[in-house]
């Protein structure tokens, strides 16, 4: 069983809390459950803990993976999150104008300073975008340079255009496919958490039979018919390219088949998803 969790908003939809809580609940019910985050991004400034942890562990690690370890006891963090992107904001001193600075802050790829790809056979590759490191400011710049010396294997210097080509290429897509295929064969249920407001985290996921699609948003979780959702995603991809894979575009004019109201909670441990989980595993 594969459950896709995506967010309606670019940020703060609640995907991670929902994904972790459902995985915990499924395990409590005796199912062999696995969480999977194909692609993640984290910010060296706003999530500086990830820089410290990456230096300590000697591989790039995102905040969501650390949450998975804390609440689910996961240890194969590079495999449950095969593609990880570290972002760092540019210094306003390097920008031509305030408008230029604001535009860079809203463009995720213009802030990528480091990336990691872990293949399904366990081999890891790190990439470093020196140009983006140079336009951030001290003392963060020194921390990023320290990170570059600690990563194992040592990162390959590259350009952001090469990173984009890598992310959009068939090689990475196939690797993510193999990761998910392996997890789905070994587990009763796999919770796949997408990134930001991407309807699907990688295009070859369109080739999987998805059992349920959950869309997270403030206060609620919407459940959509998986076949209709994936069909719409495929059509949007064909007509609009990757831009068409934003969740709001995919579910436009679609009716959800169920809605769950979420109770506020101080932590993931207190987050009640019992009714959602019961609905998911009813089959």
Q: Are residues 237 and 206 in the same domain?
A: yes
The predicted-structure confidence for 38-59, as pLDDT tens digits, reads as follows 999 999 999 999 999 999 999 9
Beta strands in the chain (DSSP E): 2-7, 33-36, 39-43, 83-87, 112-118, 124-128, 156-157, 189-193, 212-217, 220-224, 258-261
pLDDT recorded at residue 162 = 95
Q: Evaluate whether residue 9 is within a structural domain.
A: no
Q: What is the dihedral of CA 233, 64, 74, 169, to 10 degrees?
A: 40
Residue ranges of the chain with per-residue pLDDT less than 50: none
Q: Are residues 192 and 157 in the same domain?
A: no
Dihedral over Cα of 4, 217, 221, 16: its sign: positive
Q: Evaluate whether residue 1 is within a structural domain.
A: no
> How many Å apart are CA 167 and CA 264, to the nearest integer?
36
Q: Evaluate whether residue 182 is within a structural domain.
A: no
Q: Are residues 215 and 146 in the same domain?
A: no
pLDDT recorded at residue 283 = 61
Q: Are residues 237 and 163 in the same domain?
A: no
pLDDT recorded at residue 282 = 84
Query: Which of 146, 171, 196 is the last residue before a domain boundary?
Result: 171
Q: Are residues 202 and 86 in the same domain?
A: no
> How many Å apart are CA 272 and CA 277, to the nearest integer?
10
Q: Are residues 142 and 215 in the same domain?
A: no
Q: Are residues 101 and 150 in the same domain?
A: yes
Query: Which of 171, 201, 225 is the last residue before a domain boundary?
Result: 171
Domains in the chain: how many in total?
2
The predicted-structure confidence for 148-168, as pLDDT tens digits, reads as follows 999 999 999 999 999 999 999
Q: Are residues 158 and 48 in the same domain?
A: yes
Cα separation values, 71 from 16, 165, 168, 230, 256, Å: 11, 34, 31, 30, 30
Q: Are residues 109 and 159 in the same domain?
A: yes
> How many Å apart are CA 112 and CA 109, to the nearest integer?
5
Q: Which residues pair with 128 in a beta bridge?
A: 114, 157
Q: Are residues 150 and 225 in the same domain?
A: no
Q: Which domain, by its residues, includes 228?
A: 188-280
Dihedral over Cα of 256, 258, 264, 269: its sign: negative
| Token pair recorded at residue 258 | 């169920």
> How many Å apart are CA 279 and CA 273, to the nearest integer?
10
Going by C-beta distance under 8 Å and a sequence separation of 6 or more, which residues neighbour residue 45? 88, 89, 140
Query: Which of 171, 203, 235 is the last residue before a domain boundary?
Result: 171
Q: Are residues 127 and 208 in the same domain?
A: no
Q: Evaluate whether residue 7 is within a structural domain.
A: no
Place of tokens 């690797």: 175
| Token pair recorded at residue 55 | 């230096």
The predicted-structure confidence for 136-147, as pLDDT tens digits, reads as follows 999 999 999 999
Q: Are residues 110 and 224 in the same domain?
A: no
Q: Evaluate whether residue 104 is within a structural domain.
A: yes
Q: Around 193, how many Cα atoms within 13 Å sit in the side-chain half-sphere?
A: 29
> How many Å apart are CA 76 and CA 223, to the nearest integer?
29
Q: Evaluate whether residue 176 is within a structural domain.
A: no
> How many Å apart are CA 154 and CA 181, to the nearest integer?
29
Q: Evaluate whether residue 177 is within a structural domain.
A: no
Phi and psi torsions of 159, nearest 5°: -105, 165
pLDDT recorded at residue 175 = 98
Q: Evaluate whether residue 110 is within a structural domain.
A: yes
């Amino acid at each position: 069983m594969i459950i896709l969790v995506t967010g309606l908003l670019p940020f703060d939809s609640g995907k991670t809390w929902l994904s972790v809580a459902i995985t915990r609940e499924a395990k409590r019910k005796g199912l062999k459950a696995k969480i999977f985050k194909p692609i993640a991004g984290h910010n060296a400034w706003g999530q500086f803990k990830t820089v410290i942890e990456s230096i300590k562990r000697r591989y790039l690690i995102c905040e969501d993976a650390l949450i998975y370890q804390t609440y689910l006891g996961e240890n194969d963090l590079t495999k449950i999150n095969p593609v990880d992107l570290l972002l760092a904001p540019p210094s306003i001193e390097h920008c031509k104008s305030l408008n230029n600075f604001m535009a860079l802050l809203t463009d995720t790829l213009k802030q990528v300073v480091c990336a990691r790809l872990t293949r399904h056979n366990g081999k890891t590759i790190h990439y470093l975008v020196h140009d983006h490191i140079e336009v951030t400011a001290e003392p963060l710049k020194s921390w990023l340079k320290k990170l570059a010396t600690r990563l194992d294997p040592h990162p390959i210097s590259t350009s952001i255009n090469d990173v984009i080509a890598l992310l959009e290429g068939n090689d990475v897509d196939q690797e993510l496919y193999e990761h998910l295929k392996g997890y789905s064969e070994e587990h009763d249920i796999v919770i796949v958490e997408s990134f930001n407001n991407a309807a699907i985290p990688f295009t070859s996921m369109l080739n999987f039979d998805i059992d349920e699609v959950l869309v997270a948003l403030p206060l609620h979780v919407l459940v959509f018919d998986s076949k209709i959702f994936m069909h719409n995603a495929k059509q949007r991809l064909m007509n609009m390219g990757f831009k068409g894979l934003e969740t709001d575009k995919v579910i436009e004019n679609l009716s959800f088949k169920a809605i769950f109201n979420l109770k506020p909670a101080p932590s993931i441990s207190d987050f009640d998803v019992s009714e959602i989980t019961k609905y998911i595993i009813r089959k």
